[in-house]
Amino acid sequence: MTDDDGVEFTDPVGAVDVHYDDHGAARAALVVGDDPSFSTLLFEHVADILEVAPYEPGALYKRELPCIRAVLELAPRVGLLIVDGYATLDPQGRPGLGLHAARALGIPVIGVAKTPFRTATHAVQVIRGSATRPLYVTAAGGISDAWAAAVVASMSGPHRIPTVLKRVDSLARGLVSPSKLLL
């Protein structure tokens, strides 16, 4: 797949998710694919984080970003990251988790949210499969929302939620164990 500038995107791509337990700990999960469609998975890993920052309204990144960094440290470098949530929170570019991650990690980030956020009127709605409800896609780190939406639309799986996003959510929740893949 090529980006907005017509450059072929060949770096591995990661999808991350974080699940918090009731005891102040978290599990971060990462799935790495060979391209933005995640048609071939290369690597899966989870990281258990024993202490996480408390939830602070309007500052989810303070809680989530250290967990994302922890799981990324255990993986090969990715050139694009998919996060559960918004990259930007309004048309003016107010940072969401994705923009904070893009700045901290130095890579483009696509935010995929399952529910609308009132100020995110710029989010591109993507309807996949036979779904009637859209996903809300935003981007940060040098890629456009439109390109990010095309990536999400092309991701593997027949349902509303791309297969890799379901997989990384299940890994973070501890519902499945990481598979031994190519790396």
Answer yes or no: is 178 within a domain.
no
pLDDT greater than 70 at residue 8: no
The whole model's pTM is what? 0.93
40 pLDDT band (50/70/90 cuts)?
very high
Task: Check: CB of residue 82 under 8 Å from CB of residue 14.
Answer: yes
Answer yes or no: is 52 within a domain.
yes
CA atoms of 87 and 94, how far apart (whole Å): 9
Average pLDDT in the chain: 92
57 pLDDT band (50/70/90 cuts)?
confident
Answer yes or no: is 63 within a domain.
yes
Structural domains of the chain, count: 1
- Structural domain range at position 48: 13-173
CA atoms of 20 and 40, how far apart (whole Å): 28
CA atoms of 183 and 178, how far apart (whole Å): 12
- For 128-161, what is each residue's pLDDT tens digit? 999 999 999 999 999 999 999 999 999 999 999 9
Residue 75 is part of a domain; what is its CATH number? 3.30.2170.10
